[in-house]
């Protein structure tokens, strides 16, 4: 089992998509093991998006992600890092596959509603940036044998 970090960005919260987005992951069969709302500080934003420092969109990205609360979560499941990325769709909603979260809810690349870790290394890094160990739950989903063979 893998864990991944997923976040409904400020536009997703403002536009009322929190429930719809969480519902998609629940319906897929992924387990929520951490969940919280927070407003991201400048410091956390710079750490989280450190790889994009220096790019033309960086300042706008930091302003956007710190502008209003986000809903952060940790999901657990088989291959859930790539699974959740697939459910989100491409970074640019215009290029995202039909039915994906970004294609369904977004138009501009700079307002693409959701974040998800892109690798095992980023998942580990992002989970520890946003959550303390005691905020992550360990429990069994009684439906697991109906999700996994």
Residues taking part in catalysis: 115
Residue closest to ligand GDP, measured at CB: 110
- Read off φ and ψ for residue 75, nearest 5 degrees: -110, 150
* Rounded Cα–Cα distance for residues 65 and 10 (Å): 6
Task: Tell me whether residue 130 is annotated as binding.
Answer: no
Partner in contact with 115, chosen from ligand GDP, Mg ion, none, beta carbon below 5 to 8 Å by kind: ligand GDP
Task: Tell me whether residue 125 is annotated as binding.
Answer: no
Helix axis angle, 18-28 relative to 80-88, nearest 10°?
Answer: 140
Residues facing residue 77 across a β-bridge: 2
Considering only residues 104, 118, 125, 136, which one is a binding residue for ligand GDP as defined by CB under 6 A? 118
Q: Taking CB under 6 A as the criterion, which residues in 129-148 touch ligand GDP?
A: none
* Rounded Cα–Cα distance for residues 38 and 36 (Å): 7
* Stretch of 16-24, 67-75, 110-118, 136-144 lying at the interface with ligand GDP (CB under 6 A): 110-118
Task: Tell me whether residue 57 is annotated as binding.
Answer: yes
**91 near ligand GDP (CB under 6 A):** yes
**31 near ligand GDP (CB under 6 A):** no
Residue ranges in contact with ligand GDP by CB under 6 A = 52, 57, 60-61, 91, 109-110, 112, 115, 118
């Amino acid at each position: 089992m893998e864990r991944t970090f997923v976040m409904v960005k400020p536009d997703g919260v403002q536009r009322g998509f929190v429930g719809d987005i969480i519902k998609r992951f629940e319906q897929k069969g992924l387990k929520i093991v951490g969940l919280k709302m927070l407003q991201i500080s400048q410091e956390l934003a710079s750490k989280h998006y450190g790889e994009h420092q220096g790019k033309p969109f960086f300042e706008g990205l930091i302003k956007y992600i710190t502008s209003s609360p986000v809903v952060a979560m940790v999901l657990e499941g088989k291959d859930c890092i790539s699974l959740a990325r697939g459910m989100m769709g491409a970074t640019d909603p215009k290029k995202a596959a039909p039915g994906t979260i970004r294609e369904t809810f977004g138009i501009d690349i700079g307002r693409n509603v959701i974040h998800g870790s892109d690798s095992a290394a980023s998942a580990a890094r992002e989970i520890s940036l946003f959550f303390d160990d005691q905020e992550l739950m360990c429990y069994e989903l009684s439906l697991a044998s109906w999700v996994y063979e």
